[in-house]
Chains A and B, each alone.
Chain A
Amino acid sequence: MNLQSEIPLEYMIVLSTAVFFIGLVGVVIRRNLITMLMGIELMLNAVNINFVAFNHYLFPHRLEGHFFALIVMAIAAAEAAVAIALIINIYRKFSTVSVDDVDELKY
């Protein structure tokens, strides 16, 4: 299936930009650590769309974007695992996962 004639690259990238900023809003407005983590996952996925789209449209003869996306996924998995371990630890210590209450390093 070749999309090049049907859907311009710009559509893909604008879509990824939109998802990225939606993820950013999610990180900024939520105070729950888990929802913040979800926002970050959204942002990572937006970047992945970029990699894949560029690979598909501009460098179809190579696989760099593909592998980059793969690596990002692996890192996202690692990050999620560590982040959740941290969240659980924080919950154990502070009995909350709200960042408002976890401000020991404040000025």
Chain B
Amino acid sequence: MDYAYTLWILTLPVAMFLTIGLSGDRLKSNAAGILGTAGLAVIAALSWFTAFSYFGSGLPESGFQPVIAAQTTWLAFTETLVIHLGILLDPLSVMMLVVITTVSLMVHIYSLGYMHGERGYNRYYAFLSLFTFSMLGLVVATNIFQMYIFWELVGVSSYLLIGFYYEKPSAVAAAKKAFIVTRFADLGFLIGILLLSFNTGTFDFAALNDMSGSAIAQPVTTVFMGLSVSTWAMLLIFMGGAGKSAMFPLHIWLPDAMEGPTPVSALIHAATMVVAGVYLVARLFPVYHFAAPDSLEVIAWVGSFTSLFAAVIACTQLDIKRVLAFSTLSQIGYMMVALGVSGYGDEGVGYMASLFHLFTHAFFKALLFLGAGSVIHAVHSNLMTDMGGLRKYMPLTHLTFLIACLTIAGVPPLSGFFSKDEILVAAFEHNKVIFAVQWFVAGLTAFYMFRLYFNIFWNSDPHYHHTPHESPPTMTGPLLFLAAASVLAGFVPFHDFVTTDGKPLETEFHTLVAVPSVLIGLAGIALAWWMYARKNSRPESVAQTLHGLYSAAFRKFYIDELYLFITHQLIFRFISRPVAWFDRHIVDGTMNLIGNTTVSVSVAIKKMQSGELQWYIWYFTSGVLVLTLILLYLN
């Protein structure tokens, strides 16, 4: 099967980025939007076609095998250590292609309505194309270095899109924060890449994940600070993933990233870019599993803690986009947990569950964000205190948002139920503590999502300046499509397609796990209904009772303040200031001294250029004499 046409999946977004970006205002803004959307529709169609031909070609005996659709050598360091650029198709990357292009297409269509009349409409579509290109390049990377390149490109496009409203200081600050935090994490990623490639002599995923390859067959067991070098390498790579996926304690940028336009939040900060960390761990999963099982344990606990931590914070936030942001953190925590507790081959249910959840989460979280965007579009506020009773005004948004909430709460038979259930099963088989935490977080998820839902669509009607109205069809269309996807995605036989070794996986239904998780989800919904369905004083009294916890969670457990303390009080004061002083006085001083000396010397000797002929003759003669002396007596 020839997959060379997949190159178009990468070249089209670049072409669109250049066309829209370089044409500037010469392109009418409607034209830019339609061009971008049409281009993305083509890409999405190509991706779907790729997926059908890849999965539809029938299951080979040995499971789905990776295909290198295109490859070119970019840098050759040695015979073996070569950096390629290429396109790798395997179940994981094909699944990601479908998710990214589908969600991206929905966001493009949605943005036609949402961004209508905004300044910088063309810029917005150019950046979206750039992001799509980077993200697609990331998932089809054949080697870890190519992935790193696109990883950084993704970071840049995320930065550009968060800072889209660059006239707002808060947006600029958020963009900087996101860039710096993820860049800091990428430092670990880069060191991890270097460690790994130094020890294995390859960048290629195929060689790294090869069972007989040096990464798995001969892990470096040299112990450094209690962990083997292989474990360190994989942990550092995970650090990069944790930065992009906003795992604790590198999560602080994601809530602030909500300063960007809402469709961007849906695309980048919910469905695609933030799951890059999950994708990274999944991509290198055999290495993690066989060479560095300790790091998988770390991943599981980090994921578990993040999901609990973020869920607690989400229960207290008032800004609806921030609630969704923390919900995203929590759900990515789920995915990380599933990867962390997963085994390989027949026991790889966690791996499958994680990617299944990634798949379903992309749809329902994008739906939630787009729905929130629709609400914000109507109310012109982000705060849930300014909302209420909107079900009367926005029936379609209400319906789709309800579906999304039910999905994320894990109500059967919606897709969230299936994927979350698989994760809980995997956790249950691996570690009961993690299972308990995740089970509790499932309840919290249901609670905070329905707190959001009831506060927006029920509760009492605040005084609106003008009556909210339903969004245009360009916005409700994607909502309906994503709602349908959220409902139906659970029925995709995912365990047949995306597994650790490419072979189908037998999964069984655990009543012992499924029933309690559904029950706690329903309990969360019920609690939310009791507290928020109608205006009453119960929320305040609960907040009063849990005063310490509530205010701590409301302030996001003071993590931002901690970061500020560390950076401003410790790093800036004790490292940066002396360094700045050194730079200003010693380094600059040296340079100034050299410059000033040159100037003063030239001022002093410029008198020699007096314009007086006699002096020139005298200089000349003296020079001849001195030369003669040197030649005669010093030779």
Contact = CB atoms under 8 A, between A and B. Distances in A.
B609 A99 contact: no
B610 interface: yes
B617 A28 contact: yes
A24 B617 CA distance: 8
A107 B604 CA distance: 12
B627 to A, nearest CB: 16
Interface string A17-54: 00000001001111100001000000000000000000
B623 to A, nearest CB: 13
Contact of B611 (A24, A30, A36, A105): A105
Contacts of A103: 610-612
B520 to A, nearest CB: 89
Contacts of B614: 27-31, 36, 99
B566 to A, nearest CB: 58
Interface in B605-625: 606, 609-614, 617-618, 621
A10 interface: no
Among B614, B617, B618, B621, the one with the most A-chain Cβ atoms within 10 Å of its Cβ is B614
Contacts of A6: none
A107 B609 contact: yes
A33 B617 CA distance: 14
Interface residues of B, number: 10
Contacts of B610: 103, 106-107
A49 to B, nearest CB: 19
B617 A27 contact: yes
Contacts of B609: 106-107
Interface in B578-617: 606, 609-614, 617
A14 to B, nearest CB: 16
B611 A104 contact: yes
Interface in A45-84: none
Contact of A106 (B611, B617, B618): B611
A97 B618 CA distance: 20
A77 to B, nearest CB: 22
Contact of B613 (A24, A99, A104, A107): A99
Nearest to A33: B613
Contacts of A107: 606, 609-611
A99 B612 CA distance: 7
Nearest to A39: B617
Nearest to A27: B617
A15 B618 CA distance: 21
B612 A100 contact: yes
Contacts of B612: 99-100, 103
A49 B103 CA distance: 100
A99 B617 CA distance: 13
A98 to B, nearest CB: 11
A24 B613 CA distance: 12
A34 B611 CA distance: 18
B611 A28 contact: no
B133 to A, nearest CB: 59
A52 B606 CA distance: 42
Nearest to B606: A107
A29 B617 CA distance: 11
B622 to A, nearest CB: 11
Contacts of A24: 617, 621
A78 B35 CA distance: 81
A105 B611 CA distance: 6
Contacts of B617: 24, 27-28
Contacts of A28: 614, 617-618
A54 B614 CA distance: 30
A44 to B, nearest CB: 14
Nearest to B617: A27
A28 B617 CA distance: 7
Nearest to B614: A28
- Complex A-B, nearest 6 residue pairs according to Cβ-Cβ distance, in ascending order: A106-B611, A103-B611, A107-B609, A28-B614, A99-B613, A107-B606
21 contacts: A24-B617, A24-B621, A27-B614, A27-B617, A28-B614, A29-B614, A30-B614, A31-B614, A99-B612, A99-B613, A99-B614, A100-B612, A103-B610, A103-B612, A104-B611, A105-B611, A106-B609, A106-B610, A106-B611, A107-B606, A107-B610
Interface of A: 24, 27-31, 36, 99-100, 103-107
Interface of B: 606, 609-614, 617-618, 621
Given A24-B621, A103-B610, 5 more contacts: A27-B614, A27-B617, A36-B613, A100-B612, A107-B610
